[in-house]
Amino acid sequence: MLPKLSDFSNSVLSLWSALLTERKIILAINPWLTVAGTLIFCYAWLKLWKLLFAPLEIKRDLRETGYTADGKQSLKDIANEFRKRRQFNDIPPVYPNGWFRVLASSELAREEVKYISVLGQQLAVFRGNDGVVYIVNAYCPHMGANVAIGGKVVGNCLQCPFHGWKFRGDDGKCVEIPYSKTVPLTAKMKTWPSIEMNRSVYLWYHAEGEHPSWFPDEIEEIKKRAWTHRGYTQHTVNAHIQEIPENAADVAHFVPIHAMPIVTGSHSRYNFSNWCYIAQHEFNAGWEPQENEEKHVGILQLDHALFICGYKVPFTEFHLIARQIGPGLVFMKFKSAFGDGVFLQSLTPKEPLLHIMRHEIYAAKTMPTFVAKFLLYAEAIQVERDIMIWNHKIFLTKPLLVKEDHSIKKHRRWFSQFYSENSPRLTMRKETLDW
C-alpha cells in the first residue's frame, strides 16, 4: 500500500524540526565550548610563558627542606626536636662581623618603611625622599613604639606612630617633637651602616661598633644591566653560621654529596645509589684565602662536567669562580656553553643557629631564560643536599682531619678574623621552640 502524501510531508517536517532543534542546541552549546577552549588555551600558554620567560621563584622554610617525616611526627615537630637536641656548648660566636643582605632593592619603595629581624636585632629599614636607604633600631627611645609598624617617612626622617617624634635616617638624631619646644640631646636612635648595590640592601654588623673596613663587590654587569635577573631560591638553615661558608673549602664532600645527577633529588639517602654507575657530576675544586686589602675574601675555583657511562656529555662544562666576601656573601661568576652569569649567595642570621640562605641568578641576555632557570633549580637541589647535612650535624671545634683536609684548616683561620672580643655567644639553651 503506497504511503499517503500527507504522511510523507509530516515525516519530512518532523525530521526538519528535529534537525532545527539539534542545531539550536549546538548553537547554544557552541559559545560555551569556545569559551572553555579559549580558557584552556590561555592557561596552557601562560604556563608555557612562565616556564620559558618568567624568573624562577622558590622559597622554602625550615621544615620544608632537610628533614624527613617519620610517620609519627610532623616535619614541624621534627625540626623543633632537632633544634632542641643540638649541642650548644663549645661553639664559636653566633654572629660574626661583616656585611649581610637584608632586602632586595625592589622591596623598598621611596618613602616606605619595613620592619626586619636579623642578627638578633629588631630594625626599621626605610627609603628617604632622597632615595637613600637608612636602617635604624625599630623601637622608639621615647616610649618603645615600633617605628616600622605604622611609622611614616617624612623627607629623610622616620616619624614614630605613637607620639610623632621624628628621627633623621643618617645619624638617628631626633629633630622634632610635635608637642615640645625643645629636643633632648639624648633623643637619638641607633643607626646601622648600610649600602645598596647589586639591587640589594646590605647591612654592616660589628660587635665592637667599628665602621666598615671593607665593602662588598659591585657586579659591573648588574650595574650596567648587561646581565638580567632570572630568579631566586630561598632556604632556611638550622646550623652554626660558620658551617655554611666552610662548605666551599671542604672539597672532599663534593663527590659523596654532589656527584649524583640532580634527577636523584636532594635527599642524602640517594648519595650512594646505583646512579653512580650510570651518571656522575665530576668536579675539580680548590679554595684559597686572599691577603692584604682582600684578606676578607676567599676564592673557590670549580670546574664541572657531567659524565654518562664514562663519556662527557656535551655542553655540560661549567667553570666557576666564587668570591667569599666575609661571612655572609658569596658571588659566584660562571661561564657555560649557554652564556655567562653570576649566582649571588647571601646568608643572613635571623637568630643563633637559624639563617636565611638566598641564591639569585643574573645571566647574560643571550642566555635563554629557561636555561638560567634550570641552572638555578639545579643549584637549589645541590644546596638542599647540603642543608640535609647541616640541619643534623654539630659544629666540632677540633675535628679529626687528615692531610687532604688542609683547606678546611685554612678556612677556619681565615674565618676567625670575623670574630671579635664582644661577638655574641650562645650562653643558654632554649627549651621551648615554636615555629
Let me know: does 172 contact 194? Beta carbons within 8 Å: no
Let me know: does 369 contact 54? Beta carbons within 8 Å: yes
In the chain, CATH 3.90.380.10 covers 57-91+217-418
| Grid cell locating 265 | 633529588
Let me know: does 121 contact 102? Beta carbons within 8 Å: no
Residue of 345, 351, 341, 307 lying closest to 324 (CA atoms): 345
Strand pairing category for 157-159 and 152-154: antiparallel
Enumerate the β-bridge partners of residue 195: 202
Q: Identify the residue whose cell numbers are 643607626.
A: 191
Q: How confident is the model over 200-246, as pLDDT tens digits?
A: 999 999 999 999 999 999 999 999 999 999 999 999 999 999 999 99
pLDDT attached to residue 8: 47
Q: At what angle do helices 5-53 and 369-390 cross, to 10 degrees?
A: 60
Q: In what order do the strands lie in the sheet with 113-118?
A: 113-118, 121-127, 133-137, 191-192
pLDDT > 70 in the chain, percent: 82
Let me know: does 360 contact 219? Beta carbons within 8 Å: no
Phi, psi of 370 (to 5 degrees): -65, -25
**Of residues 85 and 412, more confidently modeled:** 412
Phi, psi of 357 (to 5 degrees): -110, 125
Rounded Cα gap, residues 96 and 151, in angstroms: 30
- With H, G, I as helix, E, B as strand and everything else as coil, classify residue 329: strand
CATH class of 57-91+217-418: alpha beta
The 10 Å CB-count burial string (b at 16+, else e) for 387-397 is bbbbbbeebee
Computed from CA positions of residues 265, 271, 275, 279, in that sequence, does the dihedral angle turn out positive or negative? positive
| Grid cell locating 148 | 616600622
Domain 98-197: give its CATH superfamily: Rieske [2Fe-2S] iron-sulphur domain (2.102.10.10)
Residue of 38, 35, 36 lying closest to 46 (CA atoms): 38
Alpha-carbon separation of residue 345 from 27, 310, 322 (angstroms) = 58, 32, 10
Q: What is the helix (H) or strand (E) element at residue 66, kind and residue range? A: none
Rounded Cα gap, residues 359 and 340, in angstroms: 16
Terminal Cα distance for the chain, rounded: 91
pLDDT attached to residue 175: 96
| Grid cell locating 198 | 647589586
Q: How confident is the model over 59-100, as pLDDT tens digits?
A: 887 767 776 666 666 666 666 666 665 655 578 999 999 999
Can you list the positions of beta strands (E) in 147-197?
152-154, 157-159, 166-168, 174-176, 191-192, 194-197
One-letter identity of residue 397: T
pLDDT attached to residue 80: 66
In the chain, CATH 2.102.10.10 covers 98-197
39: Cβ–Cβ under 8 A, 6 or more apart, which residues? none
Let me know: does 76 contact 70? Beta carbons within 8 Å: no
Q: How confident is the model over 253-273, as pLDDT tens digits?
A: 988 888 888 777 767 665 555
Given a cut of 90, whether residue 121 has pLDDT beyond it is yes
pLDDT attached to residue 17: 62
Residue of 298, 329, 358 lying closest to 215 (CA atoms): 329
Q: What is the helix (H) or strand (E) element at residue 123, kind and residue range? A: strand 121-127
Q: pTM above 0.95?
A: no
Q: Which of 171-185, 307-321, 418-432 has the lowest mean pLDDT?
A: 418-432
pLDDT attached to residue 177: 96
Residue of 76, 117, 196 lying closest to 356 (CA atoms): 117
Given a cut of 60, whether residue 27 has pLDDT beyond it is no
